[in-house]
Amino acid sequence: MVRKFLYLIAFATVLVIGAAIVFSIWSRDLTRLAMVPSADFVEQDPLAANAYQDPDMWYSRPGIGTEDPARWQPPLRNDRGGADRLLPDPAEPAPPQFAVFFVHPTSYYNRATWNAPWNDADAETTARLFLRGLASPFNQASEIWAPKYRQATMGAFLTDDARAGQALDAAYGDVSQAFAFFVSSIDENTPIVIAGHSQGALHVMRLLKDEVAGKPIARKVAAAYVVGWPISLEHDLPALGLPACATANQAGCIMSWSSFAEPADPSDVLDTYAASTGYDGQKRGQSNILCTNPLSGSIGGEVAADANPGTLVPDGDLRNGEIVPGYVGARCNERGLLLIGDPPEMGNAVLPGNNYHVYDIPLFWSALRNDVLARVTAWAAKPS
C-alpha cells in the first residue's frame, strides 16, 4: 500500500497497543527512525510443504474451540442499559455451511527484523486481539481459518527500500501456502469467503489476482472482503477476477471500503494513492476507489445511522466491547471513500484527517455479519 497511508496507520496502531513512542511534533522522519529496520533483509527459510497441517500454524481453524479468537461473540447493548448476548434467532433457518479464510492486519512493530519471527509473543497477542474484533463478524461460518504468517513489520510500509518489498513478498508466500492448504481442506461443495484488513487485505488482493482470477476456485467464492486497502476501479479491479458487489444479494463479488468521519481530510491518502502503481502497471492517478457501502451491500449510496444494525464499540484496551445499533451511517463520496458523518466515539486510534481505518470493520460489525450470510445464501441458491 501507499507509504503515507500506512505511515498514518502505523502511528495509530502503536497507540492502540499502548506502545511508548510519543512524538511532541508529528514527524515522518522520526516515525521512520523508530519503525523502519536498519538490518539487512534475511531470506526466509521456506516452509515445509505440509507446514499448515500443523494446528499451531493457525490462530483460527476447526477444532480450536473456545480459544479461537474469531469465535468471540460480543454482547448487544439493550434498552435497559444492560447487555444481551448475541445469539442466532431460533425462528430463522440455519445459515448455509460456508468456510472463511481471514488474513489479520499487521501486529508486528519491531524494527529488529523485516519479517515477524515465528512465535513472537507481542505480535501473537496483538493478532489474537485484532481477530476478536475483525474476524468475529464471520463467526456464523461453519469453518473459520486465520493463518499465522511471517508478516512484514510495520516499518516495511514506511520506506521505498527494496528490502520492504522483499518482506512483503515473503509474507505473501506464507499466506499463499496457507490458502492452498485451506482450499484443499474444504469440501468441494462448500462456498468460501476470503477476507482481510490492512496488510491482510493487501495479501487478499494478491490472492485474488494470483490464485483465484481465471481459476476453478473462483466459482466457489461467495464473497471477498478487501477492507482498509484501496482498490482502483480502473487499474486493480479487472485483475482480481471478481466484480464489485453491486447489490446486497449478489454472490461472487468484492466488498471494499475505507472509513472517514467528517470533516474528512484524506489528502495524504489520495496524493499517495495517485502516485502508486496499479495491477495493470499504470499509475492509479485520479482513478476512483472502489467503495461498497457495508450498510447497503451495494456500490456507492448513502444509508442513515438508524439503519445500522450494530457497531462494535470497543472498551479502552480493545479486548472487549458491545454492539450498539444506530451508531453511524455511511455514504460513499465521489472519490470512493466511505464517510460516516460526525466523528463517533470509538477510542484513541483515530488517525489524522478523521481517518477511522482501525475501525473499518467494527463500525459495521452487524451489517457485515448480515452481508456475509446474504451472499453465502445467494451462492447456495445458484443453479449448480
Q: Which pLDDT does position 66 carry in this prediction?
A: 82
Which of 5-19, 62-76, 231-245, 265-279 has the largest mean confidence?
231-245
Q: Which pLDDT does position 71 carry in this prediction?
A: 95
Is 60 exceeded by the pLDDT of residue 348?
Answer: yes
Distance, in Å, from the CA atom of 348 to the CA atom of 213, rounded to the nearest integer, reads: 38
Q: Which pLDDT does position 249 carry in this prediction?
A: 94
Is 60 exceeded by the pLDDT of residue 18?
Answer: no
Q: Which pLDDT does position 30 carry in this prediction?
A: 58
Give the CA distances from residue 281 to residues 113, 186, 238, 376, in Å, rounded to whole numbers and listed in that order.
29, 34, 12, 33
Angle of helix 199-207 relative to helix 162-185, nearest 10 degrees, comes to: 60
Mean pLDDT of the chain: 88
DSSP element (H, E) containing 346: none
How far does Cα 339 stand from its chain's mean position? 18
What's the whole-number mean pLDDT along residues 351-373?
A: 96
Please, are residues 231 and 253 in contact by the beta-carbon 8 Å criterion?
no
Cell 444494525 found at: 309
Distance, in Å, from the CA atom of 268 to the CA atom of 266, rounded to the nearest integer, reads: 6
**Closest residue by Cα to residue 11 from 275, 350, 363:** 350
Q: Which pLDDT does position 14 carry in this prediction?
A: 45
Position 12 confidence tier, pLDDT thresholds 50, 70, 90: very low
Is 50 exceeded by the pLDDT of residue 46?
Answer: yes
Instruction: Please report the sign of the dihedral spanned by the C-alpha atoms of residue 153, residue 26, residue 160, residue 103.
Output: positive
Among 152-166, 214-228, 284-298, 324-338, which is the least confidently predicted range?
Answer: 152-166
Stronger pLDDT, 351 or 3, i.e. the higher one: 351
Q: What is the pLDDT of residues 103-116, one digit of tens each?
A: 999 999 988 899 99
Is 80 exceeded by the pLDDT of residue 219?
Answer: yes
Distance, in Å, from the CA atom of 374 to the CA atom of 295, rounded to the nearest integer, reads: 13
pTM, rounded to two decimals: 0.90
Q: Which pLDDT does position 275 carry in this prediction?
A: 82
Distance, in Å, from the CA atom of 77 to the CA atom of 81, rounded to the nearest integer, reads: 7
Please, are residues 17 and 109 in contact by the beta-carbon 8 Å criterion?
yes
Distance, in Å, from the CA atom of 169 to the CA atom of 362, rounded to the nearest integer, reads: 29
Q: What is the pLDDT of residues 188-212, one digit of tens each?
A: 999 999 999 999 999 999 999 999 9
Please, are residues 11 and 351 in contact by the beta-carbon 8 Å criterion?
yes
Partnered with residue 322 across adjacent β-strands are: 313
* Side chain identity at residue 50, one-letter code: N
Distance, in Å, from the CA atom of 272 to the CA atom of 2, rounded to the nearest integer, reads: 6
Q: What is the pLDDT of residues 269-307, one digit of tens each?
A: 888 789 889 999 999 999 999 999 999 999 999 999 999
Which residues lie below 8 Å from residue 149, measured CB to CB, with a gap of 6+? 103, 171, 174, 175, 178, 203
DSSP-derived secondary structure for 31-53: HHHHHS--SPP-PPPPPPTTGGG
Position 85 confidence tier, pLDDT thresholds 50, 70, 90: very low
Q: Which pLDDT does position 263 carry in this prediction?
A: 97
> Hey, what long-range contacts does 64-68 have (CB within 8 A, 24 or more apart)?
68/144
**Starting at the edge strand that comes first in sequence, how are the strands of the sheet with 75-77 ordered?**
83-85, 75-77, 321-324, 311-314
Which residues lie below 8 Å from residue 50, measured CB to CB, with a gap of 6+? none
For residue 239, the 8-state DSSP code is G
Which residues lie below 8 Å from residue 88, measured CB to CB, with a gap of 6+? 94, 140
